[in-house]
Amino acid sequence: MDLLSFSRGPALTVAMAIFVLGVLWRLVGVLSLPAWRDDSAPREGAPPAWLAALQAIFSKMIPHRTFLKAGMFTTINGYVFHIGLAICVFAFAPHILFLKSLFGLSWPALPNGVIYAAGVLTAGSLLAALAYRLTSPVLKLISRGDDYISWALTFLPVVTGLAAAAHLGARYETLLAIHILSICVFLIWFPFGKLIHAFLFVFSRGATGIRFRHRGAQL
């Protein structure tokens, strides 16, 4: 079995299985935690719990005006690489064909030029995020190995995908295999590192919103 056959065969199958089972394990772990109970009466005008949760989930997508100026770079840069990554993953024709093989769903792809531009922008944004983390005294102090591993495993699929698309450095089949293997490592790490925030942020923000709004705090 050559490297490409291995990467898109057994390696990808095992990685996707670990990803799905790992994410389910983390979600079950969160949902099975004892429910927080507050027997105090809610403040006058407090919204229902479900509405408070939704308010927190969406309102926290933009920093509070008090911290908006200080957090402008991280906010904008965060949106750049999240949106850019989403475009690369869900709007590139080969990726859409792969997702169709899994779920039977398909949608129009964006032109390759747009995908390549999004990929370059995403890679640059991730490098900027790393540079900011390494130069910010606060971020540097609180950063741990998980932060850097999660960054690297997000960056590698982007840069290897760009290299494969541009046929840079090796045969296309080899570059494609390396790209797929980088995705496999990303999928395996995803449930067990900070990348799982893509699922868990809904629960953390929702719980915070419920507690704060119950006490009458504004979000």
Cβ atoms within 10 Å of 190's Cβ, excluding its own: 22
The encoded tokens of residue 135 equal 């130069």
Cβ atoms within 10 Å of 32's Cβ, excluding its own: 7
pLDDT above 70 (res 54) = yes
Which among 177, 179, 173 has a CA at the least distance from the CA of 6?
A: 177
Question: 52: burial class by Cβ within 10 Å (0-12, 13-18, 19+)?
Answer: buried
Rg from Cα positions in the chain: 20
* Interval 103-126 mean pLDDT: 95
Q: How far apart are CA 22 and CA 18, in angstroms?
A: 6
* Interval 76-94 mean pLDDT: 94
- CA-to-CA dists, residue 119 to 2, 85, 171, angstroms: 28, 7, 20
pLDDT at 53: 83
- CA-to-CA dists, residue 112 to 92, 119, 125, 142, angstroms: 7, 10, 20, 39
pLDDT above 70 (res 63) = yes
Rounded (10°) angle between helices 12-31 and 172-189: 20
Q: How far apart are CA 44 and CA 144, in angstroms?
A: 42
Please give the full DSSP string across 21-89, using - where no structure is assigned.
Answer: HHHHHHHHHHHTSPPP---SPPPTTPPPHHHHHHHHHHHTTS--HHHHTTTHHHHHHHHHHHHHHHHHH
pLDDT at 90: 96
pLDDT at 11: 96
pTM of the full predicted structure?
0.88
* Interval 156-182 mean pLDDT: 93
pLDDT above 90 (res 164) = yes
Mean confidence (pLDDT) of the chain: 90
pLDDT at 219: 65
pLDDT at 175: 95
pLDDT at 21: 97
